A and B are shown apart, each in its own frame.
Chain A
Amino acid sequence: MASLNARAMLVSLVILLVLGGLWEALNQPPPASKQLTEYELMMGAADQQARVPPPSKVLAHAWKELSNPFYDAGPNDKGIGIQLAYSLYRVITGFVAAALVAIPLGFVIGMSPLMHRALNPFIQVLRPISPLAWMPLALFVIRDSEQSAIFVIFICSIWPMLINTAFGVANVRSDWVNVARTHELSQLQTAFQVILPAAAPTILTGMRISIGIAWLVIVAAEMLVGGTGIGYYVWNEWNNLDLNSVIFSILMIGIIGMLLDMALGTVAKLVEYEE
């Protein structure tokens, strides 16, 4: 009997083949019955019915794109690698900035009941705001679409990290804090040697949620501001009616999102502990 992992992989493969096969079979163009004029072809007469490109086409397209991901042929024609790099740059910049604010602030809120109560109303009001709702204001104040996108990522990344950090810090077992106290650790030493490692798994969970949301939001934000990035790319290819590219970029968005989560998952494993 193969291991559970091996069997699960087999099932995944079967599901992939079945779904891919169905998709392929249901989306074949009808056999051309007669020779069409170039004009008819241009008007789409060959294919009255809108049809999603089959996986074979998408894969062929993906191969082509991925074999030269970083070409740059002007503002409307850049390789997928360049577009993803733009998006990643924005997400990571916004996310890191958010972490630099949220984690220390979360410590303050978690350690001080006064600050918790004082800041809670702001958090409760600001948190439910859709990050994209900030965009017009950001554009007006910052006057730069690039930085506005980063700001939107910043604002949407901040809440899960802030709330998880505060929760993790506030719920560090009092026994461990007492260990710090009986060893005469200063506030700062206690924060770094006891509270940070104790709360790290909870903080990392917040960071994973944040990066997930940031990656969701960047696509929408780039559709809005345009110019560069994977979100802009999807929308641009839609305008070009290039569905091959649209599906291909959807897949790439999924894969990059998964990789981002896996990266933070690896870090989370490092700080995990068992009681």
Chain B
Amino acid sequence: MSKHFVRVEGLSKVYPSKQKDTVVFEDVNIGIDKGEFVCIIGHSGCGKSTILNVLAGLDEPTLGVVTMDEKEVSGPSLDRGVVFQNYSLLPWLNTLENVNFGVKARFRDWNSKQVAEHSSKFLAMVGLSEALTKKPSELSGGMRQRVSIARAFATSPKLLLLDEPFGALDALTRGVIQDELIKIWGETQQTVFMITHDVDEAILLADRILLMSNGPNARVAESVVIDIPRPRNRANIIEDPHYYKIRNHLVNFLINRSSDELPSADGEGGVTLSVNPARQEIFKKTNESIKAIAAN
């Protein structure tokens, strides 16, 4: 484990009690590169949120360290933006003010005009230009989560942490916001760490998926590289011949293997399923031509 932008090393979380200590997870190792989109999947209660909160600096591990940019994480920071499942918007502020809240905290010397312009730009990216003066209580769940995402991206953190951001949304809304997330991520090249319980969502979004075994004593058991070329969207991704192979592997893990006693993986690099060199070559070319088009 060296050159990674974010390093999680030997992380454990234990809740001590008189009868028997609860080891939620142990020896979790994760490496995330700059600009990488990493998803983590695992059954409920295996400690995903705890890991994310440790990354955010909101929670402390029992053992292990987290470093970002060679500095140890020891508390919350604007360098790590968090999107919580329950949106965490401040209900007394309207849409624009909620995003302004983040922008003002980030860019403390900006005047209010600069702040509002910056916020509006990010709200426009998630299609909320029409709802600037609405309070969160007047917004649907999907719209609230968009505000929350806009706030996180507008503060341009070095690492973006998403805790099941779409968990509470219906499938249609989720799809739309996933596309928006891909778009905004493509524009900003954020490093993202995201929890999800949706296999398809993970394949659509991630460069790499971490699979956690069940708790207690959960571990990161596998790291699966998703080599489906970008840009991806929900329509073209299922046409990729590789898609079902990955999907089956993930579902199989969750259903059959996640409860096994699995050793800790090193949570980086990881298996790429059936790497076919010819295929990889094609991907590379398409990716390059896409980049060339995008650059023009």
Contacts and interface: CB of A to CB of B under 8 A. Distances in A.
A48 interface: no
A178 interface: yes
Interface string A172-204: 000110110111110000000110011010000
Would you call the interface of chain B mostly helix, strand, loop, or mixed?
A: loop
Contacts of B186: none
Contacts of A38: none
B31 interface: no
Given A181-B76, A182-B76, A183-B155, A274 B88 contact: no
A108 B248 CA distance: 55
Interface in B36-92: 56-58, 75-78, 80-82, 84, 86, 88, 90-92
Interface in A196-236: 197-198, 200
A122 interface: no
Given A193-B101, A273-B137, A182 B90 contact: no
A183 B88 contact: no
Kindly name the residue among B76, B82, B102, B135 whose own CB sees the greatest number of chain A CB atoms within 10 A. B76
Interface residues of B, number: 24
A175 B80 contact: no
A183 B90 contact: no
A145 B82 CA distance: 58
Would you call the interface of chain A mostly helix, strand, loop, or mixed?
A: helix
B124 interface: no
B146 to A, nearest CB: 16
A184 B77 CA distance: 6
B101 A182 contact: no
Contacts of B58: 178, 181-182
B282 interface: no
A178 B88 contact: yes
B259 to A, nearest CB: 31
A183 B101 contact: yes
A200 B58 CA distance: 25
Interface in B118-164: 135-137, 155
Contacts of A176: 88, 90
Contact of B88 (A179, A193, A273): A179
A273 B101 CA distance: 17
Given A178-B88, A193-B101, A274 B56 contact: no
A275 B93 CA distance: 11
Given A182-B81, A183-B102, A194 B90 contact: yes
Given A182-B80, A183-B102, A175 B86 contact: yes
B71 to A, nearest CB: 15
Contacts of A200: 92
B168 interface: no
A275 B91 contact: yes
B77 A273 contact: no
B105 A183 contact: yes
Contacts of B77: 182, 184
Q: Please name the 8 residue pairs, one residue from A and one from B, whose CB atoms are nearest each other, closest first.
A: A183-B105, A274-B137, A273-B92, A181-B76, A175-B88, A273-B91, A182-B76, A197-B92
27 contacts: A175-B84, A175-B86, A175-B88, A176-B88, A176-B90, A178-B88, A179-B90, A179-B101, A181-B58, A181-B76, A182-B76, A182-B80, A182-B81, A182-B82, A183-B78, A183-B101, A183-B105, A183-B106, A183-B155, A194-B90, A198-B92, A273-B91, A273-B92, A274-B135, A274-B137, A275-B91, A275-B137
Given A175-B86, A273-B92, A273-B137, 11 more contacts: A175-B84, A178-B58, A179-B90, A181-B76, A182-B77, A183-B78, A183-B106, A197-B92, A198-B90, A198-B92, A273-B91
